Amino acid sequence: MISSLHRPTKAKINLDAISANIRTVVEYIPSQPKVWAVVKANAYGHGAIAVAHHIEGQVDGFCVSNVDEAIELRQAGIKKSILVLGVILPEEVYLAKDYRLTLTIASLEWVSLAKTLGTNLKNLTCHIKVDSGMGRIGVRTRAETEALISELQEQGAFIEGIFTHFATADEANQQQFEEQLDFFKELVRSLDNCPSVVHASNSATSIWHADTVFNAVRLGLVIYGLNPSGRALEIPYEIEPALHLESALIHVKKVPAGAAVGYGGTYHAETDEWIGTLPIGYADGWTRDMQNFNVLVDGKFCQIIGRVSMDQATIRLPKKYPLGTKVILIGKSGDQSISATDVAEKRGTINYEVLCLISDRVPREY
């Protein structure tokens, strides 16, 4: 989809903030792990190519969710290793070899299927995924892990790493985290020939369990400057959000008391009111449930009134503002700010989703 450039709606991305966030998180990890930046889903909406180019010198590699995201980076000239975190179909293994990608192998059944299909795994670089309790993908026992390692070795694959993923590292209650950690530690310890790269830490684990990273970390949300727990846990250092979402008033009018605004006529002006219209709507990822939330104009909170439509939203202004006046949807204005976490709370979701939903129609400016 083409970005709509001829509109004042844009996401401004501060790439230096991403670099600084990576430095900060890593500084607080006592060991010196390999660092992979997770740039799946277009770098959580920040633009995978721009982010990867900016930080390539700072990290050991990248993680993405699928082969297409990895190919996008290779075609943009990214040279460092790229780990595909999801499971791909054996039919696509040749792409991994062509583009020097590292694949996640999560079951014996996958290797059997590859054999049946005649997929050549020779010299494929891979990491074994262990399901230590997340319940999504991965081998669940020591026996299966051992069997998978020997199968892959027999096929000539190069097993560079082994990893797991925690389900609750961003929660105060540590019970499931501890269970998963114990399981994974014991598994790794018991393997006869353990792959050299061992990793388990996403952002939350790297922040709140910095002493338990193995020898590599996979940093996602935190590098974009947001708290993976929302507000449940405090981050013990400063990070800076890298994305600001802004638009501008493209229409300003005074409506009389009682006038209806928006689809369904759900809002009626209480008195004579100044109403501003913004060129952003649910097709931009500014979802309909943002009705009654606030944006910032001139350092002041202004309420979104009436329904958010596909391409436009309406706000109540305290006074007349000129066309072109900047409107901040995520970011700072004067002394006030609105974070992706604030938006997530209003929507009953998590900040990750808020970032990922900002659609391709919104241009990213660096």
Radius of gyration for the alpha carbons in the chain, expressed in angstroms and rounded: 24
Distance between CA atoms of 109 and 116, rounded to whole angstroms?
A: 10
Nearer to ligand PLP, 129 or 364 (CB): 129
Nearer to ligand PLP, 157 or 221 (CB): 221
Least distance (Å) between residue 54 CB and ligand PLP: 18
Q: Does 101 bind ligand PLP (CB under 6 A)?
A: no
Binding segment for ligand PLP (CB under 6 A), chosen from 177-185, 215-223, 230-238, 259-267, is 215-223
| Cβ-based neighbours of 89, under 8 Å, separated by 6 or more | none
Binding segment for ligand PLP (CB under 6 A), chosen from 201-209, 246-254, 266-274, 353-361, is 201-209
From the list 33, 220, 262, 276, which residue makes contact with ligand PLP (rule: CB under 6 A)?
220
From the list 29, 85, 213, 245, which residue makes contact with ligand PLP (rule: CB under 6 A)?
85
Distances in Å between the Cα of 340 and the Cα atoms of 113, 244, 280, 329, 331 are: 42, 9, 16, 9, 8
Q: Does 333 bind ligand PLP (CB under 6 A)?
A: no
Q: Does 221 bind ligand PLP (CB under 6 A)?
A: yes
Nearer to ligand PLP, 90 or 228 (CB): 228
Catalytic one among 28, 94, 237, 263?
A: 263
Least distance (Å) between residue 245 CB and ligand PLP: 19
Q: Does 114 bind ligand PLP (CB under 6 A)?
A: no
From the list 42, 81, 202, 312, which residue makes contact with ligand PLP (rule: CB under 6 A)?
202
By CB under 6 A, the residues from 142 to 171 that bind ligand PLP are: 165
Q: Does 133 bind ligand PLP (CB under 6 A)?
A: no
Q: Does 127 bind ligand PLP (CB under 6 A)?
A: no
Size of residue set near ligand PLP by CB under 6 A: 12
From the list 9, 180, 203, 229, which residue makes contact with ligand PLP (rule: CB under 6 A)?
203
Active site residue 263: yes
Q: Does 38 bind ligand PLP (CB under 6 A)?
A: yes
Q: Among all residues, which ones are annotated catalytic?
A: 40, 263
- Chain positions contacting ligand PLP, by CB under 6 A: 38, 40, 85, 165, 202-204, 218-221, 228
